[in-house]
Amino acid sequence: MIDDLFGYSDVPAREPLADGALLLRGYAGDAAEELLQAIDAITTAAPFRHMITPGGYRMSVAMTNCGRVGWVSDRRGYRYQPTDPDTGRPWPAMPAAFAELAARAAAEAGFAGFVPDACLINRYAPGSRLSLHQDRDEPDLRAPVVSVSLGLPAVFLFGGRRRGDRPRRHRLAHGDVVVWGGPARLAFHGIAPLAEGAHPATGACRINLTFRKAL
């Protein structure tokens, strides 16, 4: 339990979202400042950009990557690739502190030995959203996905394996980490349109990191 200023402890620090999915509230809070500094360096080398979906739409979320491969979308489809299509250069390396945090969180959720090789970095401005989807471009679905939320809060939609399963809504705040794998690995999920706001750490945006084993 997390104690608030007044000594209440009614917010569970570990909240199961489904079989195989766990929300760890505030788990990345202490690391947030260091993560944001590293994200600044990464996005200097590989700036945020709005990718185009295979259907020709511009995504409202701005994205970039670090790691051995990065997730990209364009008219040809979705895939992981070792280079940034905007620059032709390899994606910036994944900082050791990123991989360590993701591995620790994964282990907390029962997925020991998680070694991510890709980190998708999403930036949401107010109004940006990510519609319901499955993360299934990774060849090894035994590895979980680990998501770290920074900055403005968001509503995370987390459903089942079928698109038609009604998703539940969970508030994700600065420092929250979600891990989903095993029976939840192919759960449909998304982010509701981000509300206006300002956060001391990020200003008027939310940044999300998702760690994946993509090789």
10 Å Cβ neighbour count for 94? Answer: 21
Which residues in the 23-62 window bind Fe ion by CB under 5 A?
A: none
C-beta closer to Fe ion: residue 45 or 48: 48
User: If contact means CB under 5 to 8 A according to the sort of partner, which of ligand SIN, Fe ion, none does residue 202 touch?
Assistant: none
Residue 110 falls in which region: left (phi positive, over 0), alpha (psi -120 to 50) or beta: left
Among 208, 211, 213, 214, binds ligand SIN (CB under 6 A): 208
Is 139 within 8 Å of 166 (Cβ atoms)? Answer: no
Contact between 212 and ligand SIN by CB under 6 A: the answer reads no
C-beta closer to Fe ion: residue 135 or 138: 135
In 3D space, the residue among 100, 102, 119 whose CA is nearest the CA of residue 46 turns out to be: 119
C-beta closer to ligand SIN: residue 7 or 172: 172
C-beta closer to ligand SIN: residue 91 or 156: 156
Give the contacts of 148 (CB within 8 A, at least 6 positions apart).
28, 35, 101, 102, 105, 176, 177, 208, 209, 210, 211
- CA separation for the pair 76, 82 (Å, rounded): 16
Which residues in the 132-171 window bind Fe ion by CB under 5 A?
A: 135
> What is the pattern of x (binds ligand SIN, CB under 6 A) and - over residues 128-157?
--x----------------x--------x-
> Which residues of this protein are in contact with ligand SIN, per CB under 6 A?
120, 122, 130, 147, 156, 189, 191, 208, 210
